[in-house]
């Protein structure tokens, strides 16, 4: 397992390891809540049977994007400690593509920070997935990656705190 709390990895992600990274070296009992999000590969997408997904990343920028998201989280929820791991390479249905852990003294901040983080990951992280299904393949395309898009940031915050 990689040891950096914000990173990409070509190996299977173990959620418990990401939780441990969020806890870091904080003394036992400092956090009263750790919210986790595990994104997994769905077998069916827009009516298609997914054989597997192939994730590609622009890794040096992706690591910086994760740092940027962590800074935004720190701005909104200063007590939260965040860890994020995103997979690259070929993933079978059911495998974890992203794991987020947000540790906090209280649950409300942990849940909010965790939700905010996955929304921002989907908006700006330079990662792309190619879906291979029975009879074809297609790149999945979502948001235009613009970290300075204030409307997108606010939308993520509303999702988290709605």
Task: Give the span between the Cα atoms of 56 and 89, in whole angstroms.
Answer: 6
CB of 24 to another protein, least distance (A): 24
Q: Is 32 in the site for another protein (CB under 8 A)?
A: no
Q: Is 15 in the site for another protein (CB under 8 A)?
A: no
Q: Is 122 in the site for another protein (CB under 8 A)?
A: yes
Quick one: tokens of 7? 């990173």
Q: Is 111 in the site for another protein (CB under 8 A)?
A: no
| CA-to-CA separations, 12 to 19, 114, 122, 144, in angstroms, rounded | 15, 20, 20, 27
Q: Is 93 in the site for another protein (CB under 8 A)?
A: no
58-87 binders of another protein (CB under 8 A):
58, 60-62, 64, 86
Contact in structure between 83 and 100 (CB atoms under 8 Å): yes
Quick one: tokens of 96? 């974890």
- Dihedral sign from CA coordinates of 128, 133, 138, 141: negative
CB of 114 to another protein, least distance (A): 13
Q: List interacting residues with another protein (CB under 8 A).
A: 39, 55-58, 60-62, 64, 86, 97-98, 118, 121-130, 139-148
């Amino acid at each position: 397992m990689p040891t950096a709390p914000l990173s990409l990895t070509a190996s299977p992600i173990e959620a418990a390891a990401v939780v441990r990274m969020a806890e870091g070296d904080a003394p036992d009992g400092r956090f009263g809540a750790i919210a986790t999000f595990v994104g997994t590969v769905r077998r069916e997408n827009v009516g298609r049977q997914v054989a597997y997904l192939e994730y590609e990343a622009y890794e040096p920028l992706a690591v910086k994007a994760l740092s940027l998201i962590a800074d935004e989280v720190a701005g909104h929820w200063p007590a939260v400690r965040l860890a994020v791991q995103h997979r690259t390479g070929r993933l079978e249905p059911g495998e974890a593509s992203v794991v987020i852990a947000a540790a906090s003294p209280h649950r409300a901040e942990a849940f909010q920070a965790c939700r905010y983080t996955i929304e921002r990951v989907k908006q700006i992280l330079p990662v792309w997935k190619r879906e291979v299904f029975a009879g074809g393949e297609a790149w999945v395309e979502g948001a235009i990656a613009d970290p300075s898009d204030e409307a997108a940031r606010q939308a993520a915050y509303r999702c988290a705190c709605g």
